[in-house]
Structure 1
């Protein structure tokens, strides 16, 4: 599956290079910061796997849609949206590194250091916010250039706007939970997973491909539901990899969710057990903890069988995904890609 996605990434990158090269000409006329900004957005975007954009390609092909410029544009817009969200996410999470390289806002912080700016950290944050915002605007500029029938174009523009706002609202929820001691329920966390990750990672690209192929409302809705389930599995696996994965493979520091006080299912299940609850309160949300505290949390997770509980939930979701795939009015051969996507999601290591 990933071999096809490498080819899709090449096409998306080729389009983004041309699109951003044109933007650079115009941005240079505004001020001296435009050239650097465009180079940073392109460099940042090119480092990702571009799975979301690839899913637009694959879903379009699955429904017999020719891979034309509209498919490439829609895919590129989604990848630009993803990059912008990550640029802002790094600021909110105070992450200095992503994919083994300095985050964008931290690069600006270092610029501030070199120029002896007062409050160079705040300068970096502010500049990073601006770059992320511009990325959002460019996302919708790309979509505005679609040459599909107006009904398709309008549907995609509305879909992207709606899902983008959902992600923003879910991000607010995530931040609130990180600061708050309010008691939360499993449904609260699943809702967060759904709108912060699942829908825009899987529902949006899969349904976008079906929209471009002018599929029925039933098929589009079915793909949205399938995407939600795939996305929930994706996030649960992501949480697990953040605790037990290999940093060299994931590119994410082990235990960072603990330091940031992220309210995950692992967190919820740990705190449901009264044993060591007070000790856990001192660990979660504490950026100063080290490997010893992280190892302690890992041992508690194993002791209380939490990995097994998560695995059982993933297995339930797997059954739901298989049912949604089965109900789609497409051939077994076309469904094979969705089966493969489900398997990839279940077995991924990064």
Structure 2
């Protein structure tokens, strides 16, 4: 069953439409799940609770750019854009579920994630069994969210040629994101040698492709923009996404977890090969960092000491510089594209607003 978008909602608050459609979709799924048993229905309700209420970074980006590219778009076109934006959010949540399993995370958005909630809600089981149940449930729900996202693209009420190009785009996006995640795990276990270039390439595929290039390119396709404009937006998205990921890496180690809501120092406990760590490996400080890096039982005191070493060796400063480089590249690309007439000044301005939100981000 396909949920409809209320057509009387104000154009200025398109994210509200996305939230509304998400709620409608989850309500339908929760109702349909009842026939498969109380546990499965409860799993859908818990999933809905965790999936809703996010920042909607990706849908907002798509809708803002689409509106800037087609300021006179009719209601039907806006409904189509909202539909695609909604399914990009479902794709995002599918990746989050799988990522939490891979990383062993139990918290997100300042509270237990789906795995943490499910594991804590099985008092009759052993801790090991409860965690296995919770992680298995997250994998299965991630599969269902991925399926729902792809089917949403396939059923989108847009012209047939646009739908075909959107499906090609989402297929390539999933491929690149999985490739990036696969490399990330390989780096963390030493299967692939870690260096800054490899880590940055992995981050582009794992985060930038689906979080920024996908919504920007989807907006261009929905707006029937030129191929050159789409390519420019793809490049802009890669730089923005890399900046976003690098900031996430900084927040995990140097940020205030009370503000960003992530598990503090989880990257250090997991032995995650970020650009911070890749840089530190090339310094004399690595001798003191390496023995405790990747320790699952890393104490707060040891983690704080490692953080201080990473700061002293220049890793924090180095990654802050990388972020600045990515944002400078965005500004240059947008300036060139605007001068060449590839994108409008309104579209460039809209992306710059998104870029400004990244600078100095704390959550």
Shared fold by TM > 0.5? Answer: yes
TM-score (norm 1): 0.92
Contact 2:195 2:279 in 1 (8 A): no
Whether 2:343 is the aligned partner of 1:334: answer no
Give 2:332's aligned residue: 323
Runs of 4+ in 1 over 6 A off after TM superposition: none
SS at match of 1:254: coil
After superposition, residues 150-229 of structure 1 pair within 5 angstroms as 150-180=160-190, 182-229=192-239
Give 1:240's aligned residue: 250
Q: Provide the C-alpha distance between the structure 2 equivalents of 1:108 and 1:98, rounded to a whole number of angstroms.
A: 14
Contact 1:81 1:139 in 2 (8 A): yes
Q: Provide the C-alpha distance between the structure 1 equivalents of 2:326 and 2:122, rounded to a whole number of angstroms.
A: 47
Shift in Å, 1:217: 1.1
Whether 2:255 is the aligned partner of 1:254: answer no
Whether 2:297 is the aligned partner of 1:288: answer yes
Cα deviation code 1:57-87 (max 9, x no counterpart): 1111011144522111111101111111111
Gaps of 5+ in 1: none
Give 1:73's aligned residue: 83
Shift in Å, 1:6: 9.7
After superposition, residues 1-350 of structure 1 pair within 5 angstroms as 7-64=13-70, 65-66=73-74, 68-114=78-124, 119-180=129-190, 182-273=192-283, 275-328=284-337, 329-350=342-363
| CA 291–147 in structure 1, closer or farther in 2 if over 3 Å, else same | same
Shift in Å, 1:116: 6.3
Q: Provide the C-alpha distance between the structure 2 equivalents of 1:184 and 1:91, rounded to a whole number of angstroms.
A: 23
Contact 1:206 1:227 in 2 (8 A): yes
Shift in Å, 1:182: 4.9
Q: Provide the C-alpha distance between the structure 1 equivalents of 2:195 and 2:107, rounded to a whole number of angstroms.
A: 31
TM-score (norm 2): 0.89
Contact 1:85 1:132 in 2 (8 A): yes
Shift in Å, 1:40: 2.4
Cα deviation code 1:244-292 (max 9, x no counterpart): 111111001331111111101110111111x343432221110211222
- Between 1:308-317 and 1:198-207, the stretch displaced more is 308-317
CA RMSD of aligned residues (A): 2.2
- Between 1:230-239 and 1:179-188, the stretch displaced more is 179-188
| CA 5–319 in structure 1, closer or farther in 2 if over 3 Å, else same | farther
Aligned residues: 346
- Between 1:144-153 and 1:63-72, the stretch displaced more is 63-72
Q: Provide the C-alpha distance between the structure 2 equivalents of 1:249 and 1:117, rounded to a whole number of angstroms.
A: 29
Q: Provide the C-alpha distance between the structure 1 equivalents of 2:241 and 2:292, rounded to a whole number of angstroms.
A: 28
Shift in Å, 1:180: 1.6
Shift in Å, 1:5: 12
Shift in Å, 1:115: 5.5
Cα deviation code 1:169-196 (max 9, x no counterpart): 2112111211226532221101111010
Gaps of 5+ in 2: 1-9
Cα deviation code 1:62-113 (max 9, x no counterpart): 1114452211111110111111111111111111111122221233333443
Contact 1:226 1:324 in 2 (8 A): yes
- Between 1:295-304 and 1:226-235, the stretch displaced more is 295-304
Q: Provide the C-alpha distance between the structure 2 equivalents of 1:231 and 1:261, rounded to a whole number of angstroms.
A: 22
Contact 2:244 2:358 in 1 (8 A): yes
